[in-house]
Structure formats: structure tokens, C-alpha cells
Amino acid sequence: MRKSIRFFLCQLCMLAWTGAVLMPAARADAIEDFFKAAEMDNVDEVRSLLQQGLNPNVTEKYRGNTGLITALLEGSVNTFHELVNRPGVDLEATARNGDNALMIAAFKKNRTAVDTLLAKGVAINRPDWNALHYAAASGSNDIVETLLERGAEINARSPNQSTPLMVAAYEGHFSTVKLLLDRGADASLINELNMNAVDFTKRLDRRDIAELLTDHLKKNGQLRASLK
């Protein structure tokens, strides 16, 4: 009888050990399947994995993107709507590089996603690169307008003190630069490299943008001596 009990206990221990070994591997497979499904917009697979208990805020191992961020990066519309409305999803989660869902939606010119995230209360302003920087980088004027109307700081500073105006100038978006100036952006601000928005036009040799900014600075008595 005692031998039978010992054998039974040994079998339980073996099962527990086997489960401990297999569970991390199974979870890793589920995470990999989740991100593949998100990339391919296979919303049925995404939903199935979540129903099986997968954390909706799980991150992929290379860049730390969430499923929500991945869906936005890949244009997976159905997966985005599944995740953004999923209870427990962290809408403000960031990848390792600091990007969040609102920033990616702004950069990708995804107006529907931007409106959805804002309606759910996602914060616009933060002490880092933010959605307005990213909208300016992609020349998404309608999204720039929306963010400003919702309280975005027009002279928001990145970690190196660059503003959305500088980013728009750097990327060569004339209409976005003009929009930001018309809405009150300060063209005289400089970043940690002592560069202002005019300096940022040199990458693409955008003399039209440089002239727009220079005229604005002259009009406001802010032209630096080096630019006169």
C-alpha cells in the first residue's frame, strides 16, 4: 500500500515538473502566434488566443510592441478594433523605444484610430516625443489640427528639445509648417544642438520652407543674427 502511495506521489511530481517545463514553451508559442495573427489581421486567431487566457498587453520580444501597436503598424484594422475595445487593454502602453498607440496612429495618418483612442481618453501630452511630433513628421495636417483642438502643446519638447515645428521642417512638410505657424508655434525655439526650425530645413534643402520660417521670424522680430 505504501509503495502504491509513493508511486502515485511520484507520478504527481513528474506531472507537475513536466507542466512547469511545458507551460513557458506553450506560452511562448501562443505569444508568437498572437503577433503573427495581429500582423496578418487574423482577428479570429487573435480573439481565440485571448479567450484562452493570453494577456492582451503581452509584448513581443524584440521591440516590446504590444498587439495594439503591432496592429497599427501593420494596418490590421480588424485586430485594432478587437484590441482597442478589449477589457483590460492598456491603451497607453509603450514599446521599448517609447512609442505608444496614439503616436503610431498619428504617424500612420490613421484618423479613425486617432479619434478612437482620443475618445477613450488616451493622453496627448507627455514629457517625451508625442503624437503631435509624429503627426507633424508624417505631414498629417488633419490629425495635427485634431490634436491641437484636443489640447496638444504646440511647442511640445522631445528629449532633445525638438518641437513639432522642427520635425515638420526636417521632413519637408511645407503645409504642416505653415499650419503650425498659423496656430502659434514658436519658430525661434532651439533644441539641444542649438538648432531652430530653419536649421532643420537644410537636410532636404527646402528653401521654400526656410523662407517661410525666416519671414515669420522677421515679422515677429525673432530672427537670429546668424540668419540675417
> What confidence score (pLDDT) does residue 19 get?
41
Torsion of CA 180, 182, 184, 185, to 10 degrees: 30
Residue 120 has pLDDT above 70, yes or no: yes
Residue 8 has pLDDT above 70, yes or no: no
Q: Let me know: does 69 contact 89? Beta carbons within 8 Å.
A: no
Residue 20 has pLDDT above 50, yes or no: no
Mean pLDDT, range 129-145, rounded to an integer: 99
Q: Let me know: does 105 contact 114? Beta carbons within 8 Å.
A: yes
DSSP string for residues in 146-205? HHHHTT--TT---TT---HHHHHHHTT-HHHHHHHHHTT--TT---TTS--TTGGGGGGT
* Spatial CA neighbour of 61 closest among 88, 91, 27: 27
Mean pLDDT, range 131-145, rounded to an integer: 99
Place of cell 503573427: 36
Three-state DSSP class for 92? Answer: coil
Mean pLDDT, range 200-224, rounded to an integer: 93
Q: At 217, which amino acid appears?
A: L
Mean pLDDT, range 70-86, rounded to an integer: 98
Domains in the chain, please, with CATH? 18-99 (1.25.40.20), 123-228 (1.25.40.20)
> What confidence score (pLDDT) does residue 9 get?
40
**Percent of the chain beyond pLDDT 90?**
83
CA 29 to chain centre: 25
Q: How far apart are CA 8 and CA 120, in angstroms?
A: 53
> What confidence score (pLDDT) does residue 222 get?
86
Residue 15 has pLDDT above 50, yes or no: no
Q: Let me know: does 226 contact 194? Beta carbons within 8 Å.
A: no
Q: What is the pLDDT of residues 23-32, one digit of tens each?
A: 455 578 999 9
**Percent of the chain beyond pLDDT 70?**
86
Three-state DSSP class for 131? Answer: helix
> What confidence score (pLDDT) does residue 228 get?
47
Mean per-residue pLDDT over the chain, rounded: 90
How distant, in Å, are the alpha carbons of 43, 215, 221, 223 from that of 228?
Answer: 57, 11, 11, 7
